[in-house]
Each structure stands twice: as structure tokens, then as C-alpha cells.
Amino acid sequence: MADKLNWPVFTLTSGPVDAYPAVLRGLGRTVSYDFDPAFQLFYENVAKKAKKAMGLKNAPVILHGEPVLGLEAAAASLIAEDDVVLNLASGVYGKGFGYWAKRYCADLHEVEVPYNEAIDPADVAKALKKRPETRIVSLCHHDTPSGTINPAEEIGAIVAKHGAYLITDAVSSFGGMKIDALSSHSDIFVTGPNKCLGGVPGLTLLGVSERAWKKMKKNPKAPRASMLSILDWQDAHRHDRPFPFTPSVSEINGLDAALDVYLEEGPEAVWQRHALTAKACRAGVKAMGLELWAAREEIASPTTTAVKTPKGVDEEKLRAAARSLYGVTFSSGRGETLGKLTRIGHMGPTAHPIYSTIAISALGGALNALGRKTNTGAGVEAVLATIGKKI
Amino acid sequence: MADKLNWPVFTLTSGPVDAYPAVLRGLGRTVSYDFDPAFQLFYENVAKKAKKAMGLKNAPVILHGEPVLGLEAAAASLIAEDDVVLNLASGVYGKGFGYWAKRYCADLHEVEVPYNEAIDPADVAKALKKRPETRIVSLCHHDTPSGTINPAEEIGAIVAKHGAYLITDAVSSFGGMKIDALSSHSDIFVTGPNKCLGGVPGLTLLGVSERAWKKMKKNPKAPRASMLSILDWQDAHRHDRPFPFTPSVSEINGLDAALDVYLEEGPEAVWQRHALTAKACRAGVKAMGLELWAAREEIASPTTTAVKTPKGVDEEKLRAAARSLYGVTFSSGRGETLGKLTRIGHMGPTAHPIYSTIAISALGGALNALGRKTNTGAGVEAVLATIGKKI
Amino acid sequence: MADKLNWPVFTLTSGPVDAYPAVLRGLGRTVSYDFDPAFQLFYENVAKKAKKAMGLKNAPVILHGEPVLGLEAAAASLIAEDDVVLNLASGVYGKGFGYWAKRYCADLHEVEVPYNEAIDPADVAKALKKRPETRIVSLCHHDTPSGTINPAEEIGAIVAKHGAYLITDAVSSFGGMKIDALSSHSDIFVTGPNKCLGGVPGLTLLGVSERAWKKMKKNPKAPRASMLSILDWQDAHRHDRPFPFTPSVSEINGLDAALDVYLEEGPEAVWQRHALTAKACRAGVKAMGLELWAAREEIASPTTTAVKTPKGVDEEKLRAAARSLYGVTFSSGRGETLGKLTRIGHMGPTAHPIYSTIAISALGGALNALGRKTNTGAGVEAVLATIGKKI
Amino acid sequence: MADKLNWPVFTLTSGPVDAYPAVLRGLGRTVSYDFDPAFQLFYENVAKKAKKAMGLKNAPVILHGEPVLGLEAAAASLIAEDDVVLNLASGVYGKGFGYWAKRYCADLHEVEVPYNEAIDPADVAKALKKRPETRIVSLCHHDTPSGTINPAEEIGAIVAKHGAYLITDAVSSFGGMKIDALSSHSDIFVTGPNKCLGGVPGLTLLGVSERAWKKMKKNPKAPRASMLSILDWQDAHRHDRPFPFTPSVSEINGLDAALDVYLEEGPEAVWQRHALTAKACRAGVKAMGLELWAAREEIASPTTTAVKTPKGVDEEKLRAAARSLYGVTFSSGRGETLGKLTRIGHMGPTAHPIYSTIAISALGGALNALGRKTNTGAGVEAVLATIGKKI
């Protein structure tokens, strides 16, 4: 059936990405009863591994749905009706969080920059100065539809100094570069297993600060006895506490395997191969005469390379050509960036530098097939030269 | 690690239950990009298989969280603020749905029976006659914590005649016996892959009637752009429509495999082995001198056998003994039934009659170990005699 | 298809037996090029684990075919044309080895006992005294078609004292009880992953003494550049040496997982659950009024329980009834024991005591179905009583 | 551990090659007792699929070891002591078969050509004319260490006309191009699952003509009751016949999956992607300024591209550089071709044209890293141009 369905040969997207083989095998472990003592200990163990991987001081929360659940739940739980919220938008995802935030608060203000740019920490400081009553700030660290990174640690320091709470969406950056809840002063730090951890979609991981727990508990509208609840799960990682509802057992099995891969290889080694793959890819893009979407290379993500669609090229046809000629799937833009860029993901198992030669080859070949002459050979040479030097 | 964690040898619970080996292997398929054309066709195909398995006229909705998501979403989406809701409670789960329903409507009335009994359709008719303005009725078909089955088809006919909408929770009965959305006149029919289909927890399957779609669309408070939304997913099964957010790709892979197992074996054959396993198990329970929890054997579930805890026996210790002596995990009761009964699940891969000999052996042996003399041999003999005769 | 093919529910045989789930997942690891440096290190590592599990002083040989390859290769390699060989036969497999031995030597003598008996070490001493020129002795430790164990350590001591070489077939006992090459003074100790290690069939593991290596090297007829060669593989476990031909990569992946399971649980713990399962099973057999095949319970194998077929019962029909009524597959006898006994295997994943209740239930139920009244209840009670007491 | 072992990112070898994911999952199916009726039917079914895939008129033989077993067994079984054998050698493997043949016959003559050349059918005719008593001819269709193809069908026609028996080694060509037992007039046609079928190593598939069966049966020295026997397995594919010894159950599970992949995609489609991948790869090799090993491109294999090692380059260092810089594993030469060529495999899952960009990139990059300037960009451009045009 695979062939009748004409599955891709390579999935070089910014998520869902293919999982590590060890994760795919991990998913196949026996499904246990959630109240079985061995499963409860196993779950606690997985939570401990996640805590270690995330560099947390307290246990993370695992919610049983993909990261939009974590983001929606964070908004619903942390934001109280009378909170003033500052949303930082440098892309479609950052902007989108504002709509959720708006549902739960009366007063939302924003700092917004063009979607190929990054938030300037100085602008955050200014906005907070202008609206000192701001109680919550929300930031998308890696705005995936733009492939750009915001300076989370600097922004976090400003927010912390102000005394506001920070919600950080690090879904598609965590695990692929140095970023964590503590260094970014995040009160709710949202990520998931299906980006740079090379796991599968279906869970959210949340780092929640002690003061965020307190604020949520005081929030009468924070979801309880609900799929959207964070509070329900506060103690669920403990082997002697019940789960509020059935956890996604197989997803937990897969997460366990993904965390093992990450911790055994070592976070720094993982980050380094993400960085090198992206660097090689950007070198290739430029050498073949294309432009990066990011206004400046410093803000280009190490986990996704967004390539500006050349004038006169139909971006949908470009991806279709790469797919049909070479079996390579790229990500499109989303919303405002749709049609303006093509995204090459290098996350988890595809974050090996050699993958950049596939990406550049398929991208260049597809452009040529559409009649837009591109120097693919120069692109591949640049990729190889970059790898050769290591980072 | 498995052994250090002392995993059980047999999981004879009422969920999570172990999955079919074919499902565990299915989970290990490659993770695809959700916008890849092959994945979109594949997803549409899975939805078609689910439609066939569920006996629906229109496409089912697959929500990406375990069935509590489906139930909460059904309440949040179908019940409008001014609806009068009749909740039918014959157990902990049926009663529990009332709390969700109450969140969304101003006026809830209930028919409640003892938790070892089933709802009498005549009582439903009476309640509707008394409160003719009732717009929505909610029913738990198999109240799992009691192991009892309600007469969904008869109740559904009464509700349909009255013109009210019916929400049916068939999570732990669908796939293990004859029950479906159409025959039960359900407007929202909720089930999931991890009970009798032998899949894994992490998805909900919803059968939604055309008039339910209309009602939800008119409901301004029905969740939209939310994890709790049903509306967002109405067209998501179509290969030419986007997903509202990332689907749980691996869970879909597993569901595909579970549906293949179900459809290839044939629903009637699957139901028959569930029925025979349960019948053999009940025969064993009675022969060993124990009592069924169900007030009458006719209402005992073919997918779970609830055994009344003998006087003087500590139910928690009973399960712990079965677990430590034999590696057999049973389900406890929940809420009101906790401590009063032990549940033997026979769902999916454990719904083979021979499993009843394991259940009876472990139950009897554990009781004896606790000093409560039980005729386990007679129980096993009764199991075998029942299997021998087939059903 | 599984269902159309009507696969069994439980495989309680003496091999092939079902593998541990961790082994089945291990088989699914990526297939590597045999000359890749990582694979060569991995292979060396697997050999080290096997050495540890087998209690060897030097590296074991892994041959890439099921254990009959190891046995045939041992005969072909160690036995020189002018050797006098003493073959010890207490069953079909022991007897069978004599035919192979005969191919390679001019002079074979035997000690043979009835196939429900064990070799008496005193008889070995006598035979060696009578034929002091005997250079090689061959012994089947667990003659699987009889489910009986020979006193390998005592026999080995006698052979060692005599100065002869000992070939031991421990295929179906190693890993399920205390037995190894050193304690049995074996020069070639043959076993495999698909019995008590819960691996899959397709490899042989050989423990080869230093003097056996020397003898084989001197034997001009010992196979070289052949599938039957042991010599070809002497250094193949070293990461810096080539393989004589392509190793069965996936089988090695599976073996690695099986060895992990064995070493992590701990050999003594594994042996204990084999012993207890067998003890419980024998108690059940006797309590239900049947007889063990073994002449004395002391020589009954902890990994297989052979049950004498009651008079008037057609053994083939007995197994067919257990299979069709309960989905339980037992092993038949082989050759001389065919039709005279039924074998219940308890090896690897089925060596958990609770499995004995399944075996006794299915055996008793099948006998009853054939009209041979059997007290199955008493059998199960005896099983449970034995487990309860632990061993 | 994978990472500590530094596994390759891509295995672009000529075997063992990585298996299709569906095969890796197939390996994880439950291990059945070989005498279980369901397994016996399943095995018969697998044999039927293999028969279909191999285009045979009778059932194939499956031997339970990698293809060297099939080749050695063919020599041992078909060649009688008084047979005159003509061995055709165009490479290391063809030459090597002669040594096996020599073991079993008194009189062997050969046609040998340089190892970058193919056998000329006219030379075969001449040799047969010169030695008309020649009874058996042996041919290696794809001499893998050279990556060259012999004209098996033309040679087969000449051998058939002469009346001699033909043994064909099609291990690394079958399934990747049009070649089968009937069209090549082979009496024993040897192949295996781990090359172009994308299965795993551990089995051999043999097509045996009726007259070959007769000849083997008449040969008193043909192995019987041996791992090397073909005769033992003649009826083993029948569900009502016993296996001579335990089949490698998991390998059969994997083979079943590999045959499904092959038959579902369709042999011609599979051959076409092998051909296009190889064509693109050769175009790349030439465009980057390197030479093919094959004397003429017409005899270059569609399943392996052998690249002549440029003067002054250390071939071992070349492969080591590709492995360490890019994680790409290539095959070396063997024996006489070792150090003179590097082999890029495109078999099974790696026989997708886009893989040629990886191969060319890694090969060119590695050469550059060793100081041998190579136009990798031009190579990749040529690959893409070739793919673009399709074949």
C-alpha cells in the first residue's frame, strides 16, 4: 500500500518529522494498565528523564495531546480575566497565540515585527514600561512558519525583572539548540517530542514554575476536570498518584525512547549537529543564488531553514516538483508566509549534515524543472565545504 | 529494565488493555508530514475504514486525545446554554458525564439507578414525558466501573421518538458487541481504539449525525480553534483539506492496523469471542462460589466481568496478591464501586476464551492466599465446560 | 490474515517458542553493512554478552543457522576419521547425534537407555573403561523429545578425567537452568537463542575449548570455507577481522536483545522461574491423574514437561483439540516418542508460573473433550498451590 | 548506544543493505511453532509468493542461511564426482564458485575474463564445443565485487542447447532488474532476500528445475540430513509436510514482508527505479571526472555502481572519509578488486534516484577532503539532469 500511496522518500519538513528508529520501535512496547504499579513507576521515570532533558528544577507536566494542547492549556490556565497580557509576534505562530490569550483576558497588547525579523528585547522593555501593569508576556521562541529565532533569554531576563510571567513556545527549537525554561526565565515553557527530539506527535511537555502553579491554582477559571487542564496533572507523574484520565501509553513509550536517544547522545552533541546541518544548508541556499527568508542569518533557526521563494516561482509547484521528481517533501509557509517561502526542516534524525545535500539537490532540481535556472552544483559544493570545516 | 520494573505477565483489565501485536507493529510505521499528499490520502482511508467499522453513513470524526476528549468535546459542542439535558446514570461514568453536561446547560435532570443495575427504558420515557422540553439525552452504554450494559437501542428509540438528541458513550463496548450509532439513534456516538478494538489509547472516534452537526454549528459557545473542538475537524478526513493542528500520526498508524484486524476477522466473529470469553468467565466466577456485581446476568458486559468482592476481603489486597503471585493485573472499581468489586477485562486480544482460565485461576488463587477459601478448580472446570459448548 | 490463518492464542511448545517482545522489537533495528566499523564493534559486543551469559573464558562462536548447524558442524569439525566416539543416547536427539558422528569417524559405540530415562554416569565410566581409546564423547543434556535431563556435570567430570573431548548439546536447557560449558567440562557446548533465552531461531552459539580449537585445526577434514565450518569463524567476533560470509544481521540484533533480557533479569532469577513453572506444571499433571513421561521426577526438565499419553487417547487428536478449542499449541513427541507423549514447553517468555494454569486447563479440557475424564480442576488447584509456596 | 557506536547515517552498500521499513516491522511478528498448522500454511503461502516473484513453474526452495549456503549447497548437490564443470569467471565471486565446484568434481575448466569485463556468450559456446562432455556450467550473473553484469539469458540459451545444467548466482541482481530462472535457462537459480528485495540476510531462495531435482536425487554424494542439503527441503514448503529442521521463523516473517513490498509495487516498477538510480549515479560519476570500473557502461550493474579509484588515492581512506565526514558507508572491492574500486549500492530501499545525490556528494566530498580535487557540483547536476529526464 505504501507504494500505491506513493510515500515520500525523504521528509525534510519542520514537523511532523520522521522519528528516530529507536522511537518507532519504542512505540511498539506492550500497552500497560495505567494503574499497574510497574507502569506508574515507569511513568515517573519518564518524567524524570524529561526533567533532566529539559533542565528543570521540578517535574514537568506531560499533557496527552500535541503541543497546541499545551499552548491552549497554558493560555487558559495561567491567564486570568483581569490580566494584562503582552504578546510578542514575529511570525504566524507568535501572532496566533495572541488570539488564544485574548480569549482569557480583557486586555492584550502586542509587539509585532515583520515576519522575517526577530523581536528586539529593547522593544519588550519599552512595551513593559509603557504598560507596567502587564502581568503576562507570551513569546514564540522559534516561529516555525518563518524559520526565525527570537532572543528568548534576553527577553526572559527583561520580563523577569519586570515581574511578569512568561509563557514560551519552544516547541520546534527545544532539543535542537540551547534553550530551556530556566535560562529563558519562562513560567510555562511549552515543547513536545515531535520536533528536535525525534519523537512522535501526540504529547506536550510543559515546564511550569512554582509561581505559575500558584497563579493557576488561584485562577478560578483555570480548567479543571478537563482535557485543557494543567492543574489536573500536577502530581500525575508520581507513582503513587492516579492519572486524571488514561494517559496515551504508547506515546509515553515513544517519549521514553526519544529521551534516551537525546540523553545518550548528549544534548550538546545533538545541538551541534542541528547547527552544522542548518549552517551547511544556508551556505548551499546562498551559493545556489537563492535568498534566506530570515532578514539576517543570525536569526535563522538551526532547526529549520526557510528559503525565500524566487520571484516568478509558484511555491506550491516548487514543492510538488521536489516531491514528484525526487520524493522529497518540504514544508510550505503558513498563513502570511504561505507561498512566500519553502522550509527545509533539520530536526532529530534529519539533523545530520549530509541531509543538506539532499535538500539542496531537490530544491535546485525542482527549480530547474520549473524553468528557474539555479546553480545546484554550487549549492552542493558549498554544503560540502561547510561540513568539511565542521562548525 | 522491564524486569526491574516487574511488569505484569497478563493485563486482564478493562482498559488500557494490551493491543494486538499487529497494532504495536503498526505504530512503528514512518511518521509522515501531515500535509504530504500520501499522508492525506492515507488519513482519508483510515477514516473510511473507521466509517465502515462503525457502520456510519457519514465520515467519523477522529479527535486526537483519548475518549474523555470526545466526551468533553461532545458536551461542550452539542449542549447549548438553554438546553435541558437528561442524563442517565447507572454507574460512575454515566453519573460523571452529568457533571460535564451541567457546565454547559442551565437545566439538567437525571434518571439514576443503583450502580449494579441498568437503566429501564420505561423510566427514560417517563422522564421525557415529565420534562418534554428535554432537548438532549446522555447515556453511558457500558458503564465500565460496574461492568454493566444499558439497553441503548431501546432507549435510543424512545429518545428519537421524543425528538431529543442522544449522546452515547460506547467507549468500552463498541467493537466487543453489537452496538453502533445508527441502531442506537445516537447523535454523537463516542468510542475509541483502546478497548475492544485492541488499539492504543490516544484517539477518540466520534459518529456525528447530520442534525448534530447543524446544532453544533448554531451553538455559538461550541469550541472552535480549540483542542476541545469537534467543529474544527468536520472536513479534516478529506485528503484535500488541512488539519486544524498536527494529528497524532503514530496513533493514526495504530488505528489503521486495529481497524484492519477488526474488519479482517469480521465484527461478528470478534463479538462472538468477546461474548464467549465473558460467558465462560461468569460461569467460572459463579462456580467458584463468588457473585457477579451485576444485579442480573443479562446486563453483565461481554467486555468486562465485574466480580463482587466477598465480605471480609480487602479488594486492594486481592488485586495485589494476583499481581504479585501470578503477574496478573485486574482492574479495580472506580469512585463509588472502588473496593466493592474487581474487574476482569476481556477486550481485544484478551477476548479469547482461554484467558478466562487465567482470570479464574489468578482470582481464586489470590483469594485463597488471603485466606478466603475458594473453589478455583470448580471455577476453571466451569470455564472449560462453557468454552466446550461454544456459545 | 492472522485470523484467516487462525493463529494460536498461546504457543506452549518446546521450540520454536515465542520470543520476548523486546527481542521482536530488537529484530527491527536497522540492517547494517557487515564491514561498517560500528557494526563490527556491535558484533564484538554481542559476542562479549554471549560470553558472559554462557560463563565462558574465551569468545563464543556464533554460527548463522539454527542449532542443527552447530551440532552438525561440531561433529564435522571435531571428529577426525580415526577417532573413536562414544555417543550417549537417552532420547531421539541424543540418538540422532550418533548418526552425524558416524559420518565422520570409523568407530562409534554408544550407551543407550530407555527414552524416559537418563544416562547413568557410572555407565559412561564403564564404557570408557571398556573402550579406553575413546577420544570423543557426545551428550544431549536435555533430550527435548523426552523432556528429560542428563547429569551433564557428573558425566563431564568423568569424560574430562578420561581425557576425552566432550560435545554437549544444551540447546534447549541452557538459559533455563544452571548448565554451562565449563561446569560440564564441554569442549564444544552447543546452544541457541530460541529456547530458554526467548530469542528467535536462526543462530547457534558455541562454546569451544582451547584444546578443541587445536584439535579442529589439526583435522584436515574439518570444514573450511564452508557453511559447516567452525574454524572460519574463530576470529569473526573481533571488530578488526572480516566475516567469512555475511552474518545474519537481524538475528544478531535479536540475539543482542535476548542477551540483554537474560543478563538484566539475572540468570538465577530466570532459572528460578523456569524451575517453578515446571514444578507447578508437574504438580498439575499429577493432580489431574496423568503421568509424567520421565521415569523419575528428578530427571524431568525444568524447561519442558512431557506428559505420557493416557491409554486409549490419540495424541494427535489431543493436541488438535487443545488447539481448536482453546488456541493452545503443544509440542508432540518426535520419532520414537511421537504419539506417546505431549510436551508442554516453558521456555523464555512462557516460563512464568501462571502459564502452567493455561497448560493444565487446555490439556485437561482437551482430554475431556475426547471423552477421557480428567480432573482439570484438581490440576489447576495443584498448580496454584505450588506457585503459592514458591519453590 | 547507537550513538556511542557511531552508526552510519546512510548505508549505500552492495549488501548487506538496509531493509524496507515494512520488512523490519515484519520481522517483529510473533514466532510460531513450526508444526503449528497456521505456520505451515503461512510458510506454504510465503513459498507461493516467492514462486510468483521469481517467475517459477514449481515451488522454490528456501534454505535457512544466507546465499553462500545456497551456492555451496548447489555445488555439493548438483555436481557429481564424474561431472565436467565449466565455470565462467568475470569477477571474484564467479571465480570463487569454481573453488567450490572443484571440491565436488574431478574436472573443471573455466572461461575467465578481466574483472571489469563480461563473459562473451561466444566464448561459452567455444568452450563447450571444445569440451563437449561438459555437464554443468556455473555463472555469476552480477559479479558484485566488480559491479558488472553477464548476459545470462544468452549464455543460458547456449548452455541449454548444449544440454548442460546451469547454476546461476543471481543473488545481487534478482529483484533489481529483469532476470529469472526460466529466461536464463537456469537449473539452479540462487538468490536471496537481502539485496534488491530489501529483505534481511539469513535465507537463500533457490529455483530448481525438475531435471536438477532428478540429477541431485541420483547423486549419492548430494548432502542429505545436513545443513547443506537441498534435497531435504524439496517438500518442506507443503503445509502437510514436516520441516527437516527448525526454519528461521523470523526470517520467513521478514521474507513475507519483502515479497509483499516487491509484488505490490510491481517488479517492473522496482526494476525501473533501480535502473534510473544507477543511470543517474553513473552520469554523476562521469560528470565529476571519475571513471566507472566497468569496461563498458552497458555491462555496469543497475544495482551497484563500481567507481574506479583515481590514481594516487587510497581507497580505504576514501571510504573512511565519506564515513566520518558524512556518515555514508560505501562498499569496498573484494579480493582482486579490493583497493581498486569503491562500490555504491542501489538496492531495495536505496534504489530511489535521489540517493544518487547523496552518493555523489559523499564521494566527491571525500575525494576533496583527501586532496583530490573533484567536481562534485557537476556530478550532482548530472544526477539531477538524468533523473529529470526519467529513463
DSSP string for residues in A96-147 = HHHHHHHHH-SEEEEEE--TTS---HHHHHHHHHHSTTEEEEEEESEEGGGT
Whether A340 contacts chain C with CB within 8 A: no
| Nearest-by-Cβ selection for D357 from A358, A368, A375 | A358
Please give the grid coordinates belonging to residue B194: 483502546
Question: For residue B68, is it left (φ>0), alpha (ψ between -120 and 50) or beta?
Answer: alpha
Task: With a cut of 50, list the residues of chain C below it in pLDDT.
Answer: 1-3, 391
Q: Please answer yes or no on whether B245 and A33 come within 8 Å at the CB atom.
A: no
**Residues in C touching B264 (Cβ below 8 Å):** 1-4
Helix, strand, coil percent values for chain C (each to nearest 5): 45, 15, 40
Q: Do C3 and B361 touch (CB under 8 A)?
A: no
Of the candidates B2, B328, B376, which has its C-beta nearest C380's C-beta?
Answer: B376
Q: How sure is the predictor about D1, in pLDDT bands with cuts at 50, 70 and 90?
A: very low
Residues of A in contact with C25 (CB under 8 A): 25-26, 28-29
A102 touches chain C (CB under 8 A): no
Place of cell 535568498: A291
Q: Which chains touch B (3 or more CB pairs under 8 A)?
A: A, C, D
Distance of CA A317 to the CA centre of its chain: 26
Of B1, B354, B368, the CB nearest to C327: B354
Max Cα–Cα distance, chain D, nearest Å = 64
Owner of C-alpha cell 460496574:
B146
Q: Which chains touch D (3 or more CB pairs under 8 A)?
A: A, B, C
**In angstroms, how far apart are the furthest CA atoms of chain A?**
64
β-strands C341-345, C304-308 pairing: antiparallel
The secondary structure of chain D, three-state, reads: CCCCCCCCCEEECCCCCCCCHHHHHHCCCCCCCCCCHHHHHHHHHHHHHHHHHHCCCCCCEEECCCHHHHHHHHHHHHCCCCCEEEEEECCHHHHHHHHHHHHHCCEEEEEECCCCCCCCHHHHHHHHHHCCCEEEEEEECEECCCCEECCHHHHHHHHHHHCCEEEEECCCCECCECCCCCCCCCCEEEECCCCCCCCCCCCEEEEECHHHHHHHHHCCCCCCCCCCCCHHHCCCCCCCCCCCCCCCHHHHHHHHHHHHHHHHHCHHHHHHHHHHHHHHHHHHHHHCCCCECCCCHHHECCCEEEEECCCCCCHHHHHHHHHHHHCEEEEECCHHHCCCEEEEECCHHHCCCCHHHHHHHHHHHHHHHCCCCCCHHHHHHHHHHHHHCCC
Asked whether A89 and A95 are in contact (CB, 8 A), the reply is yes
Per-residue pLDDT tens for D88-102?
999 999 999 999 999
Reported as a single tens digit per residue, the pLDDT across A145-185 is: 999 999 999 999 999 999 999 999 999 999 999 999 999 99
Return the pLDDT at D245. Answer: 96
Give tens-digit pLDDT for A338-375. 999 999 999 999 999 999 999 999 999 999 999 999 99
Q: Which partners does chain C have (≥3 C-beta pairs < 8 Å)?
A: A, B, D
Q: Is B324 on the interface with C (CB under 8 A)?
A: no
If phi > 0 it is left, if psi is from -120 to 50 it is alpha, else beta; for residue C203 that is beta
Smallest CA–CA distance from C369 into chain B, residue: B388
In percent, how much of chain A has pLDDT > 90? 97
Minimum distance, in Å, between the CA of residue C355 and any CA atom of chain B: 8
Contacts of B17 in chain A (CB under 8 A): 31, 33
Q: What per-residue confidence (pLDDT) applies to D5?
A: 81
Chain C residues near residue D41 by CB distance under 8 angstroms: 5
> Does C354 contact B at CB distance below 8 Å?
yes
Give the single-character DSSP code of B297: G
Under 8 Å between Cβ of C254 and D250:
yes
CB-nearest partner of C264 from B3, B375, B381: B3
DSSP string, C70-92: HHHHHHHHH--TT-EEEEEESSH
Taking the Cβ of residue D1 and every Cβ of chain B, the question of whether any pair is shorter than 8 Å is answered with no
Query: How do strand B10-12 and strand D134-140 relate by DSSP bridges?
Result: unpaired
Does the pLDDT of residue A211 top 50, yes or no?
Answer: yes
Say if C25 is an interface residue toward chain A (CB within 8 Å): yes
Contact D69 C65 (CB under 8 A): yes
**CB A361 to CB D378 under 8 A?**
no
Which pLDDT tens digits describe chain B residue by residue (391 residues)?
Answer: 344 689 999 999 999 999 999 999 999 999 999 999 999 999 999 999 999 999 999 999 999 999 999 999 999 999 999 999 999 999 999 999 999 999 999 899 999 999 999 999 999 999 999 999 999 999 999 999 999 999 999 999 999 999 999 999 999 999 999 999 999 999 999 999 999 999 999 999 999 999 999 999 999 999 999 999 999 999 999 999 999 999 999 999 999 999 999 999 999 999 999 999 999 999 999 999 999 999 999 999 999 999 999 999 999 999 999 999 999 999 999 999 999 999 999 999 999 999 999 999 999 999 999 999 999 999 999 999 999 865 4
Cβ-based contacts of B19 with chain A (< 8 Å): 31, 250
Report whether C246 contacts C34 (CB < 8 A).
yes
Q: Is ipTM strictly over 0.95?
A: yes
C265 touches chain B (CB under 8 A): yes
CB atoms within 10 A of CB A374: 20
Nearest to C380 among B269, B369, B380 (CB): B380
Min CA distance, C30 vs chain B (Å)? 13
Give me the phi and psi of B328, to 5 degrees please. -105, 125
**What are the chain D neighbours of B21 within 8 Å (beta carbons)?**
28-30
How far apart are the C-alpha atoms of C12 and B354, rounded to whole Å?
13
Please state, in angstroms and rounded to a whole number, the distance separating the CA atoms of residues D244 and A66: 52
Residues 6 or more apart from A371 whose CB is under 8 A from it?
none
Contact list in A for residue C26 (CB cut-off 8 A) is 25
Residue D10 distance to chain B (closest CA, Å): 17
* Whole-angstrom distance, CA of residue D325 vs CA of residue A280: 13
Mutate to test the interface with A, among B240, B248, B264, B350 (most CBs of A within 10 A): B248
Q: What is the pLDDT of residue C163?
A: 98
Mutation for testing the B interface, residue in A3, A246, A315, A324 having most B CBs under 10 Å = A246
**Contact across the interface for A254 and B250, Cβ inside 8 Å:** yes
Alpha carbon distance D240, D132 (integer Å): 43
Nearest to B28 among D25, D29, D30 (CB): D25
State the DSSP H helix or E strand holding residue C384, giving kind and residue range, or none if neither: helix C376-388
For residue B106, what pLDDT is reported?
A: 87
Give the CA distances from residue D252 to residues B170, C323, D25, in Å, rounded to whole numbers and listed in that order.
Answer: 40, 23, 13
Beta carbons within 10 angstroms of residue A360's beta carbon = 34
* CA gap B303, A340 in Å, rounded: 54
Q: Terminal CA-to-CA distance of chain D, rounded, Å? A: 42
Q: How many CA atoms lie within 13 A of A118 on its CB side?
A: 21
- Cβ within 8 Å of residue A214, ≥6 positions away: none
Chain A residues with CB inside 8 Å of B100's CB?
Answer: 225
pLDDT digits (tens, 9 = 90+) for A103-120: 999 899 999 999 999 999
B172 touches chain A (CB under 8 A): no
Residues D89, D91, D97: CA angle, nearest 5 degrees: 55
A28 in C contact zone (CB under 8 Å): yes
- The angle at the Cα of C17, spanning C11 to C19, to the nearest 5 degrees, equals 105
pLDDT, averaged across chain A: 97
Instruction: Specify the residue for cell string 442534525.
Output: B211
Mean pLDDT for the stretch of residues A306-329: 97
pLDDT of residue B388: 86
Alpha-carbon A225 to chain mean position = 27
Distance CA C288, CA C376 (A): 5
Q: Any CB–CB contact under 8 A between D132 and chain B?
A: no
Q: Does D384 touch chain A (CB under 8 A)?
A: yes
A190/A73 Cα distance (integer angstroms): 10
Cβ of A22 within 8 Å of Cβ of D4? The answer is no
A/C interface, count of CB pairs below 8 Å:
14
* CA distance linking residue B319 with residue D124, whole number of Å: 77
Q: Would you say the pTM of this structure is higher than 0.90?
A: yes
For residue D70, what is the nearest residue in chain C, using CA coordinates? C227
CB A198 within 8 A of CB A23: yes
Q: What mean pLDDT comes out for the span A213-224?
A: 98
> In order of start, what are the domains of chain D with their CATH numbers?
21-264 (3.40.640.10), 267-389 (3.90.1150.10)
Q: What CA–CA distance (Å, rounded) separates B356 from D28?
A: 27
Residue B25, min C-alpha distance to chain D (Å)? 6
Burial class (CB in 10 A: 0-12, 13-18, 19+), C257: buried
What band does D390 get if pLDDT is binned at 50, 70 and 90? low
* pLDDT reading at D79 higher than 50: yes
Q: Which residue has the higher pLDDT, D267 or B4?
A: D267
- Contacts with A, B 177-196, CB within 8 Å: 194
From the CA of A157, how many Å to the nearest CA of chain B?
Answer: 31
In contact, B356 and B26? CB cutoff 8 Å: no
List of residues 6+ apart from A233 with CB closer than 8 A = A61, A62, A63, A244
Taking the CA of residue B216 and the nearest CA in chain D, the distance in Å comes to: 41
